[in-house]
Structures are given as C-alpha cells and as structure tokens.
A and B are shown apart, each in its own frame.
Chain A
Amino acid sequence: MSLAVKIFWAFVSMGVVTVWGLTLGGIIYKIFARVQGRLGPPVWQPFINILKNNAIRTGVSHGIMFYLGPVFRIAGGIGTYMFIPVLFGSMYFSNFSISGDVILVMYFIFFGQLGMALGAGEGGHPYSALAVSRGLAQMTAFEVPFALSVISLVIQYGSLNITEIVAAQQGSILNWTLFTNPLAVIAGMIAMLGMNMHNPFSIVIAPQEIPIGPPTEYHGSFLGLLATNRGVFNGAKLVLFMNLYFGGATNLIVLMIKTFAIYMFSVFVGASFPRFRTEDSIRFFLTFPTLIGIVSILVFSF
C-alpha cells in the first residue's frame, strides 16, 4: 500500500475511533446518571457540546502557549493513536505500527498532558496551575506501574512491537495476557484508572473543588478541540489496553465490545469509590501496583 493510501486509511480509522470514543463518553454519562437515579443526557450530547463550543463567537487569548496547549493535547492524542494497530490482521486499520512502537506510544500518552500544562499555565488562573501540578504529580506516579507492566510484557513476548504482542495472543482466549501474565494486567489496569481520571483519581479536574482543572480558562473552540481530543485519546488508550492485555480485535464489533468492557472497569470503580487526595493517590500508585508490576517482571525474568 502506498504511503498516501496508508495516511488516508489512518485518518478514516481515526474518525471511526473518535466517534466511538465520544459515543462511549455519552454512554458513560448516561450510566453515571442512572446510578444516581436520573435519566441523564442523550448519548449524543458530547457531539452537540463540541458543535456548540466551536460556534462560540468571541474568544480571549492569553498568549502563544495558550493557543498551543490544546494543539499539543490533540497532537498527543493523534500521535498516540497513529502508532497503535487498531484491528489485528487488517490492511486498512493497522495505522503506522512499527517495531518499538510501544515505547513511542508510551511517550505520546504523556506528551499531551505536558503540552497542556504549559498552555494552562499561561492561562494565568491559579486553579489551572494547581490542577496542573496535581495532574503531573499523579501522572508521574501512575506511569511507574504502567511502565513496569509494559516492561513485563516486553520480556514475556520478547518484542517491542504492539502488532507482535497482539499476534502472540491469538488462537485461544487463554493466550490473552490477562491469563498468561495476570500480574502485569492488574498493574496496568490500576494505572489505567489513574489515566482515565475517574474517581478515585479525579483530583486533577476535581469538579467541586478547583472548578474544572487545567482547562479553567479555555473556552469556545479551544474547549471544542480539547473535547474532540477526549474522543481520540480515550479511543486510542482503550485500543492500546485491548491490544496489550485482552488479545486485540479482528473486527470493529469485537473492538467495540472489548473497549466498552475495559472502560466499564474504570466506570464501575469510579461510581463506587470516593476521591483520593493527591498525596494518597501518589502513595497508592507507588505501593501495591508498583510492587505487583515488579513481581510480574521478576516472574518472567527468572
């Protein structure tokens, strides 16, 4: 396949995953509302919100980095997505998966948040700066179990390529990492709770405490861009976790079922637990999930 066709298909698949990511967000709002005994917004509400935000007529700027913050964020989202093979064995939905892409993807996951930190910092709102410092602290903490879990997988499968990691899990449900290396999956899934920023790790956006977190000053199309990124990035993260731990997917239906189930894990935890404070969440990530990650590496090293 020529490069142009490959790029075209990469963007088509990104559109599909973005729409799915946003719809998933709408479904999650609905589920949270039902847990609270409400009807909740329609599942297409995230799309209307993006439309409305982009239709805002006025805008306020705080400087160049303020503009670049959301751009970095969505660049991080797209960058993460572009190197993850979406469907195993598909010619069109395999993106730019290369050897060593798992390292690249791990880097891109954190790239967006760093860019956003710079942008939100220039917004000048004290709550933005506060939320950014909390976010970066928590991010550094959950990166440890996630990195350990990925290292364990790399040792287990002897490869840094996501496509090869998925290929090794084909054949039977018992070949999934979930069953062959459960300790790494536990560490990785706990790290995902921190990544998704639902309770108990929602201290970064803490809606009732520091109004909305880093994007406090963002409005209009800036916010539209950030909301779009939520679709891209959520989709990319879920596909990554599906590929690493749950055997990947060979068609879109399987992808939807698996990503929905993976997301529901953090939603269930989020609906049942209260919020950690920053120091508690850091202490949590650096104890049990980190120990589990280290043990999972040791198991496959000897």
Chain B
Amino acid sequence: MEKDKIDDLEMMDLPVEEESDLGFTEWRKDEKTLLNLGLPEEERDWFCDARPQVHKKSPKIIEDFLNWARAESLWILAFGTGCGAIELRPLLTARYDISRLGMAPRPTPRQANLFMIGGYVSIKTLKRIVRSYEQMQGPKFVVAVCSCAINGGMYWDSYNTVKRIDEFIPVDVYITGCMPRPEAVLAGFDRLKQLIRAGKAEGQNLYAQNFDYYKANQKRIIKDWNMPDYNW
C-alpha cells in the first residue's frame, strides 16, 4: 500500500487551494522567498526566509549505498502526542530492543531522521509537529502510529484534532491499530527500511516540492501563526 502511495505522490503535484483563509499568496514574496508575516517586524531579520529546495540524489550506486546506511542507522525523534507513545518504551527495553536494528532515540530534532508521531494530533500539537519536522535535517522519514493519526480514530468528530496528518507533513509509513502492538511497530519500521533502501522514502523532497499545498493546509488549521513560515 505504501509503495503505491509513494509512487503516486512522486508523480503528481498536489492541488493547492488558491483562496484559503489567509490566502497563501500573501505569505510568500516570490518563488524562493518567504515573508514570515507571522513574526513581529523586528524579529523577521533573525530568521531564514528561504523556501526548502528539492535535493538531487547522488548517482545511483552511491545513493543505494547511502540509503543502506540511512536504513541501518535510524535515529528516532519520538513525538508522544497520544497513547501510541507508550509503545516506544517496550521497544527500547530488553524484550523488543530496537537498538539491535541500529535504531536509537535521539532527543534533538537536529540529529534525528525518523519522526515518530505517536497518536492523535490536536490542533495545538500540530504547530509543534510542524516546527519539529521542519527542524529535522533531511533525508527525514515520518512514521505515524495509531489509527488516530491516520483517520482521526476515536476522535473522528472532535472539534480539536486533525484527522489526517498526511495533509500537513508527508508520511512514509502508517501503523494501524488502537494501539498497535510493539510487533506491529517493528513491522512498520521494517517496511520503512525497505522503502528507504529502495530509494522511495523521499518525504523531504515531497515536502519541498509541494510546499504550498502543505503550508496552506497548515495555515488553515493553525490560526495563531507566530513562527517563521519555514523553521530551519
């Protein structure tokens, strides 16, 4: 399922709502520069105003080798938004032990390359998710754990949660369940490794390519936008 999704997304440019509440054309100066209008005027100089760029891959043989290294050394930024976060603890301890797969938790987004969203995403949390995701350095991968991150789950008709995290940041692998067992999470990580090794986990490039789409969706939900338009 993930394979088809990735293939499809690589092909198409996602549609952008031209007339969103804030009007997406207002927040960018031109193709490359962002205005950072959410910030007070005196703070705008402190932040970068460049858009993320699509990064070219290395020649195939080198890229395959690097992808192998990326798959064998996944550093997790665990974002415990909901109950799914509790599944990370058994994964780290003696019974399931993900360190034997070359995975380790990493407390800072700068050094992590796997973003693990553990459960429902409230509107307040979405802002932090976007900030953390954009601070990670690419290639970066996203795994969404639990039904709530996929379709809202038991919070389907809640006024305060977003249903599909996929509309705000590109997700590589979904792990279903309420909550998924650690075995299911391990299977999800295994699937992610396959995608990385096959060179199909290019979420970072997808985000840069469809930046307008993602940003418009984010701005539609996050009303108190008091951060740069792209958090380097």
Question: Does any Cβ of A come within 8 Å of B194's Cβ?
Answer: no
CB <8 Å contact, A60 and B73:
no
Q: How far is the CA of A295 from the CA of B187 in the complex (A)?
A: 60
B192 to chain A, nearest CB (A): 14
| Chain B residue at smallest Cβ distance from A128 | B108
- Given the interface pairs A52-B73, A58-B55, the reply to whether A211 lies near B108 with Cβ below 8 Å is yes
Interface residues of A, count at CB 8 A:
30
B73 neighbours in A (Cβ, 8 Å): 45, 48-49, 51-52
Q: How far is the CA of A42 from the CA of B72 in the complex (A)?
A: 10
Q: How far is the CA of A219 from the CA of B93 in the complex (A)?
A: 26
B40 to chain A, nearest CB (A): 19
Write out, one digit per residue, whether chain B residues 188-208 have a CB within 8 A of any chain A CB (1) or not (0): 000000000000000010000
Within 8 A of A (CB), among B153-173: none
Write out, one digit per residue, whether chain B residues 82-98 have a CB within 8 A of any chain A CB (1) or not (0): 00000000000110010
Question: Does any Cβ of A come within 8 Å of B32's Cβ?
Answer: no
- Given the interface pairs A52-B70, A52-B73, the reply to whether A40 lies near B99 with Cβ below 8 Å is yes
A39 neighbours in B (Cβ, 8 Å): 97, 99-100
CB <8 Å contact, A38 and B94:
yes
| Chain B residue at smallest Cβ distance from A211 | B107
CB <8 Å contact, A48 and B72:
yes
Write out, one digit per residue, whether chain B residues 43-71 have a CB within 8 A of any chain A CB (1) or not (0): 00000000000010000000000100110
CB <8 Å contact, A41 and B100:
yes
Question: Does any Cβ of B come within 8 Å of A103's Cβ?
Answer: no
Q: How far is the CA of A42 from the CA of B73 in the complex (A)?
A: 11
Question: Does any Cβ of B come within 8 Å of A171's Cβ?
Answer: no
Q: How far is the CA of A215 from the CA of B70 in the complex (A)?
A: 20
B70 neighbours in A (Cβ, 8 Å): 52, 55
A217 neighbours in B (Cβ, 8 Å): 108, 110
Q: How far is the CA of A223 from the CA of B94 in the complex (A)?
A: 28
Question: Does any Cβ of B come within 8 Å of A37's Cβ?
Answer: yes
Q: Which of B69, B99, B102, B108 is close to A33, meaning CB atoms less than 8 Å apart?
A: B99
B108 neighbours in A (Cβ, 8 Å): 211-212, 216-217
Q: Which of B69, B72, B99 is close to A38, meaning CB atoms less than 8 Å apart?
A: B99
CB <8 Å contact, B97 and A56:
no
Question: Does any Cβ of A come within 8 Å of B182's Cβ?
Answer: no
CB <8 Å contact, B138 and A55:
no
CB <8 Å contact, A40 and B100:
yes
A56 neighbours in B (Cβ, 8 Å): 113, 137-139
Write out, one digit per residue, whether chain A residues 98-114 have a CB within 8 A of any chain B CB (1) or not (0): 00000000000000000
A266 to chain B, nearest CB (A): 21
A219 neighbours in B (Cβ, 8 Å): 110-111, 137
CB <8 Å contact, B102 and A51:
no
B111 neighbours in A (Cβ, 8 Å): 212, 215, 218-219, 223
A23 to chain B, nearest CB (A): 16
Top-7 shortest CB links A-B: A211-B107, A37-B94, A219-B110, A52-B73, A51-B69, A55-B66, A39-B100
A-B contact pairs, 17 of them (CB 8 A): A33-B97, A37-B94, A40-B100, A41-B104, A52-B66, A52-B73, A55-B70, A56-B113, A56-B138, A57-B55, A58-B55, A212-B107, A212-B111, A216-B110, A218-B111, A219-B110, A223-B111
